Homo-oligomer: A and B are copies of this chain.
């Protein structure tokens, strides 16, 4: 199975409102709730692709219970979340029906105790024994040590499980030092990590900081991958208009899906780009359209990049 780790899980709530105006009262026309946090989103896409997947991280309180209830509806997904005394956060997205704009409100995560962090590490060690790959995803909730990802990366490498890290800021900077097999920053995260704004230069710098391979997601321009096996750009067939929410998580799922099937890098990048594009075009945020995905598998272009490195 593929293991995804989401230390800061969330119950993602979407409110559809006719027209959002600051300072006004609004009747919410529709309320949608679904399990969230990046690793949970990655797992849902992997399960939809037919993979057995296990979700771990933390969950607690009433929102945690709603989240776990909803996970039982996902076929091929095993819930191995570690219970905590705190309450899983909510994120609220306000979807303006008039303009299509989305406004996001992210609650702070629950405080994780020392004992809960230790309990998680034991669960993680056990799960690695049967994992073909692991993704470490998203922000760290309060109480989890800032260097947490470096430790989790090292444990995975010691267990010979390929490990992908998808986070940002200090968590990424410290996590890269653990030498993950893959990181998947977006342009902003990559610039923050390296100080370089030119993607190719920044990507190469990120490798020097410890990442074995770097797959930078550059929005509408697709992916740039710098790996020991070669350097590539993967480009969707056209500029896509849609909702980019979850496109990065779908790219992670695509990379892992092809990795565990021992496909070479160009195939991994094709799958990641096609899934990401099919997510942007889906009417429901974070879902992907299967027909679009399969069509894009044949139309994404992957080209080698010459570098001085």
Establish whether residues A26 and B101, one from each chain, have CB atoms under 8 Å apart when the complex forms. Answer: no
Judge if A23 is at the interface, Cβ distance under 8 Å.
yes
Contact-size category for A: 20 to 34
Establish whether residues B31 and A103, one from each chain, have CB atoms under 8 Å apart when the complex forms. Answer: no
Judge if A17 is at the interface, Cβ distance under 8 Å.
yes
A108 to B15, CA, bound (A): 11
Judge if A300 is at the interface, Cβ distance under 8 Å.
no
Establish whether residues A27 and B106, one from each chain, have CB atoms under 8 Å apart when the complex forms. Answer: yes
Task: Output the nearest chain B residue to A100 by Cβ-Cβ distance.
Answer: B23
Given known pairs A27-B106, A107-B15, the reply for A96 and B22 (CB within 8 Å) is yes
Establish whether residues A24 and B104, one from each chain, have CB atoms under 8 Å apart when the complex forms. Answer: yes
Establish whether residues B104 and A31, one from each chain, have CB atoms under 8 Å apart when the complex forms. Answer: no
Judge if A140 is at the interface, Cβ distance under 8 Å.
no
Judge if A66 is at the interface, Cβ distance under 8 Å.
yes
Residues facing B in A87-129 (CB within 8 A) are 92, 94, 96, 99, 101-108
Q: Which residues on the B side are within 8 Å of A49 (C-beta)?
A: none
Task: Output the nearest chain B residue to A94 by Cβ-Cβ distance.
Answer: B105
Q: CB-CB contacts of A132-167 with B at 8 A, as 1s and 0s?
A: 000000000000000000000000000000000000
Judge if A285 is at the interface, Cβ distance under 8 Å.
no
Establish whether residues A104 and B26, one from each chain, have CB atoms under 8 Å apart when the complex forms. Answer: yes
Judge if A28 is at the interface, Cβ distance under 8 Å.
yes
Judge if A62 is at the interface, Cβ distance under 8 Å.
yes
Establish whether residues B107 and A31, one from each chain, have CB atoms under 8 Å apart when the complex forms. Answer: yes
A102 to B23, CA, bound (A): 5
Judge if A25 is at the interface, Cβ distance under 8 Å.
yes
Task: Output the nearest chain B residue to A92 by Cβ-Cβ distance.
Answer: B92
Q: Which residues on the B side are within 8 Å of A218 (C-beta)?
A: none
Please tell me which one of the listed residues B20, B92, B107 contacts residue A22 in the complex, with CB atoms under 8 A apart.
Answer: B20
Judge if A65 is at the interface, Cβ distance under 8 Å.
yes
Establish whether residues A25 and B101, one from each chain, have CB atoms under 8 Å apart when the complex forms. Answer: no
A21 to B205, CA, bound (A): 34
Q: Which residues on the B side are within 8 Å of A99 (C-beta)?
A: 22-23
What are 7 A-B interface contacts by the 8 Å CB criterion? Answer: A17-B105, A21-B22, A22-B96, A23-B102, A25-B106, A27-B108, A28-B105
